[in-house]
A = this chain, B = another copy of it.
């Protein structure tokens, strides 16, 4: 604070004690007389004393805060996940500091380093769609910064990870389209670097294989910026409908990609099957109502936070790590049903 604040010194001066006595009284140390303690506590209360967390951070090298890095908060999955994170963190006495990478590797790095240098006690991160190089994260982790990955995870760092069952989610979505009678199912997805992209793609291809539908590379479109720019969506869709094999259904892989593609389809007046991975609360209101694969975002946030706090508060270094995989939910509405 740039402005005047009450410090332990002020109390000491007012009450004619040393700062150490005040400190002990405030933190309830037992090596102090009940009388002094009462005096100090009452006075502190009266003048509304609050310990300076910055001084504490400097001294203790911890801040009772957790850093979060996500690609975008304007995304239903992430905002729900953040609510899950907060719900646990606040109960455990931690503050949550949120930053956005906007799908930029550079921005992500800056954010992580900011968190680290500000003494967050641990980090929750969902990687950006650009991210390839994790060496700086690995270094921080090896230096002792507890990190838990959620949603967009990585094999390169051995720690706790929490994610949705992207494989099964994608498989069920694809199978649902197959059962409806769709045969040329396109998949519009995120950057190929991302774990979630690979898992969802595998769910998709395995579903095709299981039902003897030939895989067609040209029906897969990657949006490397995760739908951050509308052009990549429009290009993907244009290529798709210009291609030799026109799709009769589309399965999209993320919040942003889903709504953008749905809009393009609508503009093109295409009547095709549609399912998207999204946590939007308004799919029901769409025309046609949107079939979605919904992730347990809140729970993912909660679980990741529990694991992180466990790591932070563990006395010995944690050596056994879990990868928790939470089930998705297929919510079937009209958009994925075959007409006629």
Segment with Cβ contacts to B, from A56-64, A180-188, A189-197, A239-247: A56-64
Q: How does the 8 Å CB contact mask read for A55-74 relative to B, with 1 for contact and 0 for none?
A: 10110011100000000111
A301 to B65 alpha-carbon distance, docked (Å): 25
Contact at A58–B58, with CB atoms within 8 Å?
Answer: yes
**Structural contact, B143 and A4, CB atoms closer than 8 A:** yes
Docked-complex contact B50 and A117, CB < 8 angstroms: yes
The complex places the Cα of A285 from the Cα of B285 at a distance, in Å, of: 8
A2 touches B117 (CB 8 A): no
Asked whether, in the complex, the Cβ of A2 is within 8 Å of the Cβ of B62, the reply is: yes
A1–B119 CB distance below 8 A: yes
9-residue interface stretch from A8-16, A94-102, A171-179: A94-102
Please tell me if A17 contacts chain B, counting CB pairs below 8 Å. no
- A73 in contact with B62 (CB, 8 Å): no
Q: Given the complex, which residues of B lie within 8 Å of A220, measured CB to CB?
A: none
Contact B54 A119 (CB under 8 A): yes
Residues from chain B with Cβ under 8 Å of A80 in the complex:
74
Expressed in whole angstroms, the Cα–Cα distance for A117 and B57 within the complex equals: 12
Chain B residues in 8 Å Cβ range of A266: 284-285
Contact of A97 among B2, B58, B79, B97 (CB under 8 A): B97
A280 proximal to B (CB < 8 A): yes
Q: State whether A259 touches B287 (Cβ < 8 A).
A: no
CB closest chain-B residue, reference A118 = B53
**Cβ distance A226 to chain B, nearest Cβ, rounded Å:** 15
- How far is it, in angstroms, between the C-alpha of A93 and the C-alpha of B113 when the chains are bound? 15
| Contacting residues, chain B, for A28 (C-beta < 8 A) | none
Q: How far is the CA of A114 from the CA of B1 in the complex (A)?
A: 11
A286 at the interface (CB under 8 A from B): yes
With CB as the reference atom, state the residue of chain B lying closest to A2.
Answer: B61
Contacts A58-B55, A118-B53, A287-B285: A100 and B86 contacting too (C-beta < 8 A)? yes
Residue A121 CB within 8 A of the other chain: yes
Contact code string A78-119 (vs B, CB < 8 Å = 1, else 0): 011011001000000001111110000000000001101111
Cβ B145 vs Cβ A1 within 8 A? yes
Check A1–B53 contact: CB distance below 8 A: no
Q: Chain B contacts of A98 at CB under 8 A? A: 73, 97-98
Given A2-B61, A74-B83, A86-B100, 15 other A-B contacts at CB below 8 A? A1-B61, A1-B116, A1-B143, A2-B121, A2-B144, A54-B57, A54-B119, A55-B58, A73-B82, A96-B99, A97-B98, A98-B98, A263-B282, A263-B285, A286-B287
Residues of A within 8 A of B (CB): 1-4, 50, 52-55, 57-58, 61-63, 72-74, 76, 79-80, 82-83, 86, 95-100, 113-114, 116-119, 121, 143-145, 259, 262-263, 266, 280-282, 284-289
